[in-house]
Each structure stands twice: as C-alpha cells, then as structure tokens.
Amino acid sequence: MSEFDGMFLTKKGKNLMAKGQIGATINFSKVVLGDGNLAEGQNIENLETIINHKKDVNIHSLTVIGDGTSQVRVILTNEGWIEGFFVREIGLMAMDPDEGEILYAYANARDKADFIPSAGGATVVENQLDLIAVVGNAANITAQVGVVIIALKEDITDHDQDPVAHAGRLNAMDQALNLTRLYNPNYAEFELFVNSWTMLYGMDNKVSSATAGSDVVKVDKTDYITVGKTYVIFDATNTESIVVAEIVDAATIRANADLVHTFGAANIRRTNWTVTEGRAVAVDGGVYYAGDLTLLNKNCDKAFVIRRQDNDVALAVFYKDSAHIDWTPVPWSWQRDQLSGMVDVEYIVPARGVFDIKIVSSAGPSAVDPAIEHIVYVECESGLNGVHRPPVKPINSTPADAATDVQETPTLSVTAYNHELETAQGAMQVQVSLQADFSTVLLDSGEQGPGISYVVPSGALAENGTYHWRMRLKDSLGGWSEWSDPTFFRFFSISCV
C-alpha cells in the first residue's frame, strides 16, 4: 500500500479547528484521492484542494478518540473503478460554517505511492484505512457517513505505537488548544516544533557537497525547498545562509550567490537552532526563518509572539512583504511573564498580504542559549498587553556635567524623548541626591506630566552643595525607561561667589 508521512492540517483546517474550540461543529464530509505530485517546496498548509483529483470516497465511520483526535474510517476497494491510478495524495474534507466545504487535512506519498488497478482484473483490492485527524477539544464532531466506495490505508504506526512521538504530539496538541483559547477570537498559527505543528519542514535534509566560490549545492532531496526562500547550511564549524535561486534537479540547487564556505556533510534547514520534540534552543549566531504567512490576510498589523526563556540573549526579529523587499527590523512591543522562568514577547508586525519572518539569536553576557517553547503568529494584535516596551534611555543635557554656575532653582533637562515604537510620552520623573549611587534621595519629583525638563523648586537645594541628578521617561502605555546616567552640578549662592 502507499506510504504516507502523516496527515497535515491545512490553514483552513486549523482555522476550522480553532472555531471548533468555541462551539462550531467540525463536520467531516468525505475523503478525496488523487495522483498529484507536490511541487518542489510546495507548502501543504496552503493547499485548498488536492492537486489532481481522481476519486471521492464516502466515510464509513467516525470515532472520537478523546485525546484531541478523531478517527475517520474508510474502506479501500477497487470495485467499480474504470481506470487505475497511483494513489499518491489523500485529502480529508470538512464543512466550515462560514466557507463551506474545505480541505481540512492532507497527505502525499510522493515516490512511495502504489498503483491501484481498475476493476475487472485479477487484482481485487479491499483494505481498511483509519485516518487520524486532529480536532482539539471541539465538542461537536460529526461525519457524513455513506456507502463506502474507496479509501486508502495510511501508515499510522508511528503515532499509535511510538510512545515518545505520541506524547510529544499530545503535548503539542494541548499547547495548541490552550493557545487557541488564549488568542481567541483572533486566528492564530503555531510553531510548536513538532510534526503537524511546525513550519520547519524538511528538517532531516543534508548537504552532500558545497564548495566555496561556487553557487551549486548538492542535497539529499529538494522536497520542501522553495525558490526565493532563505535556508541555513551549517556543520560543526561554519554556518551560512543562502537564498535558493534554482532547483536544478532532485538533488541539486543553486544559490543566488557563490558560497563563502566549503561544506561536506552538513545540514540545510530553515533554522540552525537546536530543535527537539516540542522545543528549540536559540543558539548563539542562530537564525530561524518562516515564510508564506498570510493569517487570513486581514488588513491589520500582525502579532508575533515568542515564548522564550527569560535571559539576556537578544532575539532580533525581521520581516519581509511585498512593500518591504529587504529584511525590516521589528522591535518588541509587550512582555508577559509566564511560569518556569519563561516570558511571552510580542512583536507587532505591520505586514500585509504574504510575508516572511526571520529571527536572529545573539548571546548575551551569560552565554546561556534560551529555550524557545513556541512561536505564535496572530492575525491582529493580541490585546493581551503586559509590560510595554519602554522609551529609549534619556541623556542628561543641562546643566552640563560638573557645572559650577548653577543657581538655586535650576532647570534639569534631557536631550529628547525617543521611542522605537513611536509611542507618545505619558510622564517623567526626576531624582536628586547628594550621593552618586543615589543611596539616599534628597528630592523626588514623583510622576510628572509629559516633558523633558524639570524646574527644581525653591528651597530644595542647600548652598554650596554638590548634587547628582537623573531622569526617567514613561510612555503613554506604562513603559518606563531606564534612569539616565547621573550627572552632577554644584550650587553656590550669589553671596558666596
């Protein structure tokens, strides 16, 4: 029988599953078969129909398993077939309450497809196939059961018999359900670093040879490689990102520029992070790429949320879309503390249409690579807020550092209010101390209105004193900047001059 790697939810399937978590019915309508080949680099998630339709198949039975999956059973028989074909692709159809019939899940056997002959010959085919479909905790799951015509047996041994893989997928399923509820009513897609919930297809691909000064790269396979997309080639010594310019054949690609390094046995992926079942570690100098995101193409800024270990490693996020053809940086907007030392970091991405994401990880002083639990792509800003990105740390301006001609009521000013997100200013605060370390505070202005200067009130300063001062600024969403680096001045009364 044909061998499939597993059923993958399409984007429309994930959207329907999300609706199912809040009460919509997931109604499986039929199974469809075809003999279509996936194009090089074609993303299964974007499919809306099977590639080359050959047969519709009625569903024999539906069983809700209870672990976030349902079993759709069909029977394979070639009775009544007029012509035979290679059963290479299989699709599970469902009725969406808003869109009608959609392709919910899909699998393709590629070169492992078997030929099923037409009826009337010496070969009579009759087999049972149980399709395992992820449905989450949807309460209403139905199927349109009819007279069985045909189905295809899928290899689900990995899911049913491998306890490690099964546990990993169940954990991912639990995460997906919790995240669906968290970001509801927004549509969201997830990177959970596990089969069916990842954008890192082709993680097992290898480079057999690539030579510095040449643009030719020999690979094990070109499945899941897409022209125009960026991939990382890396081994124990070198790392290099390439943009694929051409897929020459099933084992050869060309980069859009000559390589800098020579590689023998190396990896080629969309990331060089360390990825295990259900988690990643963002290594120093690492990069992660995700592409062809649409998120239902709503006309609003997207949210991009990374749940990461809270440490000093910097994760720089960039995006590209039709209006931004070069990688454009995106500063983080919100942070929300989570359990076990994790933090959700939300970036607001002003992308429209189809867009790509890049994350670059750079080690901090602690040199501890952070764990990445998941990444969530949300169709609009989440509204969950948290701690807002603060303004840029201000710089003391006047009085000049070490000034000695200061009078009793000086005006303390910083150079400017700056915010990477262009968020309006909400407040300011000034402190004055006799100690450089501010171990005691002589004057605290408290929270003042927006501005970049503060007039010291009369009587606050004693004559012939040295005073250290600093200022911090607050944005309109509650984010406080760091204190400015303190400077000092000396106040002498006129009678002492």
Q: Please give the chain's pLDDT, 497 residues, in tens.
A: 567 767 788 889 888 888 887 778 888 888 999 999 988 778 888 899 999 998 888 888 888 776 677 788 887 777 767 778 888 899 999 999 889 999 998 988 888 888 887 765 555 566 677 787 777 666 666 665 543 322 233 333 343 444 444 455 557 667 777 887 888 888 888 888 886 678 787 778 899 999 999 999 999 998 888 899 999 999 999 999 999 999 999 999 999 999 999 998 899 999 999 998 788 999 998 999 998 887 766 789 999 999 999 998 899 999 999 999 999 999 999 999 999 899 999 999 999 988 999 999 988 787 789 999 999 999 899 999 999 999 999 999 999 999 988 888 999 999 999 999 999 999 999 999 999 999 999 999 999 999 999 999 999 988 788 999 999 999 999 999 999 999 999 986 655 44
Please provide the DSSP assignment of 336-396 as one string.
EE-STTEEEEEEEE---SSEEEEEEEE--TT--PPEEEEEEEESS------EEPPPPPP-E
> Could you tell me the pTM of the whole model?
0.67
The two three-digit tokens of residue 264, written as one number: 């023998």
Nearest-CA neighbor of 123 among 74, 75, 88, 78? 78
Residue 190: what pLDDT?
86
Residue 444: what pLDDT?
97
What's the CATH code, domain 396-496? 2.60.40.10
Q: Give the C-alpha separation, 139 to 128, whole Å.
A: 27
Residue 141: what pLDDT?
64
Q: Tally Cβ neighbours within 10 Å of residue 115.
A: 12
Q: Give the C-alpha separation, 56 to 456, whole Å.
A: 81
Token pair 């546990």 in the structure block, residue: 167
Residue 196: what pLDDT?
62
Can you list the positions of beta strands (E) in 193-311? 206-210, 216-219, 230-234, 239-249, 252-255, 266-269, 274-276, 279-281, 286-293, 302-309
Identify whether the C-beta of residue 470 lies closer than 8 Å to the C-beta of residue 431.
Answer: yes
Q: Give the C-alpha separation, 454 to 95, whole Å.
A: 64
Nearest-CA neighbor of 488 among 475, 469, 472, 463? 469
Identify whether the C-beta of residue 289 lies closer than 8 Å to the C-beta of residue 375.
Answer: no
Residue 163: what pLDDT?
43
* 145: DSSP letter: B
H runs (alpha helix) in 238-375: none
Nearest-CA neighbor of 266 among 244, 230, 233, 303? 233
Q: Give the C-alpha separation, 312 to 244, whole Å.
A: 33
The architecture in CATH of the region 274-388 reads Sandwich (2.60)
Residue 293: what pLDDT?
85
Q: Give the C-alpha separation, 195 to 7, whole Å.
A: 10
Q: Give the C-alpha separation, 394 to 418, whole Å.
A: 8
